[in-house]
Amino acid sequence: NAGVMQNPRHLVRRRGQEARLRCSPMKGHSHVYWYRQLPEEGLKFMVYLQKENIIDESGMPKERFSAEFPKEGPSILRIQQVVRGDSAAYFCASSPGIDEKLFFGSGTQLSVL
């Protein structure tokens, strides 16, 4: 049973470009979470999704950021018109249900030049 798969592992973008981060949850998991982590800081909640639904996006910036978890395929975190402050590690986690443990992917390190 493969773990949570994130790609790419590293992503370099220039200011103003778009960044797309992908996350395939563990088999049987229908709950997906995205977190952002800046160096030497904790994990900041961004968004919680179930298949085809955004459950809680209270941690998402109002502009430029969006997330989806379609019926088929991976969850996507999309950042439009990236700025240097978007540089961070973005972690995806999945769980099989409410109040269940979260399992994390290896993360995507986004660097904005």
The contact set with other proteins (CB under 8 A) reads 31, 33, 35, 41-45, 48, 55-56, 58, 91, 93, 98-99, 101-107
Nearest approach, Cβ of residue 44 and other proteins (Å): 8
Nearest approach, Cβ of residue 17 and other proteins (Å): 25
Nearest approach, Cβ of residue 87 and other proteins (Å): 15
Cβ nearer to other proteins, comparing 2 with 14: 2
Which residues are within 8 A (CB) of 14 and not within 5 positions of it... i.e. 6 or more apart?
82, 112, 113
Nearest approach, Cβ of residue 16 and other proteins (Å): 28
Cβ nearer to other proteins, comparing 13 with 31: 31
Q: Are 44 and 35 in contact (CB under 8 A)?
A: yes
Cβ nearer to other proteins, comparing 33 with 65: 33
